[in-house]
Amino acid sequence: MNHFPIFLNVAGKAIVVSGGGEAAVAKLRLILKTEAHVQVFASSVAPEIAAWQAEGKLSVTSRALSKGDVAQAALFYAANEDDAEDARVAALARAEGALVNIVDNLQDSAFITPAIVDRDPVVVAIGTEGAAPVLARAIKSDLEQSLPASLGVLARIGKSFRTAAEALPMGLARRLFWRDYYLGAGPKTLEADGPEALTPALEQLLAQHLSAPEAQGSVDLVGAGPGDPDLLTLKARKALEAADVVIYDRLVSTEILELARREALLIDVGKTGFGPATTQAEINALIVEHAQSGAYVVRLKAGDPSVFGRLDEELDACAEAGISYRIVPGITSAAAAVASLSQSLTKRGRNASVRLITGHDTKGFAEHDWRSLARKGEVAAIYMGKKSARFVQSRLMMHGADPATPVTIVENASRLNQRILATTLAELASTLAEAALTGPAIIFLGLAPRETARAPQCLEALA
């Protein structure tokens, strides 16, 4: 990060803009949202600027900027749309101690102006360090849609009630009060009775909280199953419907997240695409922090939480913090995937045990008891196995496995885009390379789809 985001207090300070054309207008639109004294220096100005001047929103000095004009300014914008003139005025402004931005010149600017979503006093600033303005605009438009216009009113009235709320003890009790206001009573009152009803609603809520015993948060570690919402347990559904906070993994499907309570705070801890996933320590901290603030936290994990789910680390974190927890099992992806093959994981006379193994562990490709896995009739479900397929294949062959051993890959088990690839051990790596899977996949060693298994297209048609 080269640019550190901060919110600068410019109330009562000067912001100076050099230039009177389109570039200046664009910046002024944003600057005029503030309580700063805005001064424009330009020999001629666009009609918008003249209108703002007439309304008393800014002052215009009809000449080029010269020495001394920026002396007291907090911020300075060079918006002349002329490189030489911008360089001249920027040098003047720097010498006079202002932070300088040259429009469309990242290199010579001390700061950049973010895209802004304005729900004053709630303000979201989006920056891409000049890398992708298109992306910033897309994020802004997403946020514009998802943040209700009433947010500003809620926050303004909430702010005016902060001193009154100090009657509650600091920390948990106060956070719970504000959570109830912002996520419950506030929006409800606003919708039903308008902004005038908000302060009385706050007073009533405060009285309730002052007389309520301290709430105790709790955590449910819930299996979300392989993706099909119909494969959730009833307990999981109930948990989602009651959750205050849902902390979920990348593999949890959007259809399932939609079942969460509307007011629940949804936290994605497995983002891909925009950057690395949240670390386990951060996830533990998030769970504990929300539970300690009194929330009912649902930690939603793909499949079953006890299968390759780092469950114990999260349980330890809860136990250490003295937070009560419960585990709600889910359908693990191997169970869903084997169903799609119309096969069973164990079968009399074929295999009396089945192994759930991982393709890689913390040290890299995972080692297993290859000799026993190579025996005829063995069945194993390999999780996280796409990358290690060639390694698994060569290890098994080295230990005498029959190259013709059936192997079946199930991608996106239970989802509409489920794919089943039936192959053999000898062909495993090449089948995977050719298929270029993008979704999560289970690799079954020792299982082929039953002849009568429905093709995935049929599943799609049925859904």
Contacts of 445 (CB under 8 A, 6+ apart): 373, 378, 379, 380, 381, 382, 392, 396, 405, 407, 425
Q: Of 70 and 336, which has the nearer Cβ to ligand SAH?
A: 336
Residue with tokens 């199930």: 410
376 included as an active-site residue: no
In whole angstroms, the minimum distance from the beta carbon of 378 to ligand SAH comes to 19
- Binding ligand SAH by CB under 6 A: which of 90, 295, 315, 337? 337
Q: Of 152 and 270, which has the nearer Cβ to ligand SAH?
A: 270
Helices and strands in the chain: count of H runs, count of E runs: 18, 19
Contact 110, 33 (CB under 8 A): no
Q: Which of 271, 347, 376, 387 is catalytic?
A: 271
**CA–CA dist 145, 134 (Å, integer):** 17
249 included as an active-site residue: yes
Q: Which of 249, 301, 304, 386 is catalytic?
A: 249
Q: Which of these segments, 56-64, 106-114, 206-214, 307-315, binds ligand SAH (CB under 6 A)? A: 307-315
**CA–CA dist 89, 92 (Å, integer):** 5
Enter the DSSP assignment of 294: T
Q: Report 215-234 residues binding ligand SAH (CB under 6 A).
A: 226-227
Residue 442 binding ligand SAH, by CB under 6 A: yes
Of the candidates 149, 109, 145, 148, the residue with the CA atom closest to the CA atom of residue 127? 109
Q: Of 19 and 385, which has the nearer Cβ to ligand SAH?
A: 385
Contact 54, 40 (CB under 8 A): no
Q: Report 74-103 residues binding ligand SAH (CB under 6 A).
A: none
Residue 354 binding ligand SAH, by CB under 6 A: no
In whole angstroms, the minimum distance from the beta carbon of 223 to ligand SAH comes to 7
Q: Of 182 and 391, which has the nearer Cβ to ligand SAH?
A: 391
Residue 307 binding ligand SAH, by CB under 6 A: yes
Q: Of 304 and 378, which has the nearer Cβ to ligand SAH?
A: 304
**CA–CA dist 337, 417 (Å, integer):** 13
Q: Positive or negative, the Cα torsion across 340, 344, 345, 351?
A: negative
Residue 301 binding ligand SAH, by CB under 6 A: yes
Q: Report 146-205 residues binding ligand SAH (CB under 6 A).
A: none
Q: What share of the chain is helix, strand, coil (3-state, %, to 5)?
A: 40, 20, 40
Residue 343 binding ligand SAH, by CB under 6 A: no
Residue nearest to ligand SAH (CB): 303
Which helix (H) or strand (E) is 124 found in, with range? strand 122-126
Q: Interface residues with ligand SAH (CB under 6 A)?
A: 226-227, 251, 301-304, 307-309, 332-333, 337, 383-384, 410, 412-415, 440-442
Instruction: List residues with catalytic annotation.
Output: 249, 271
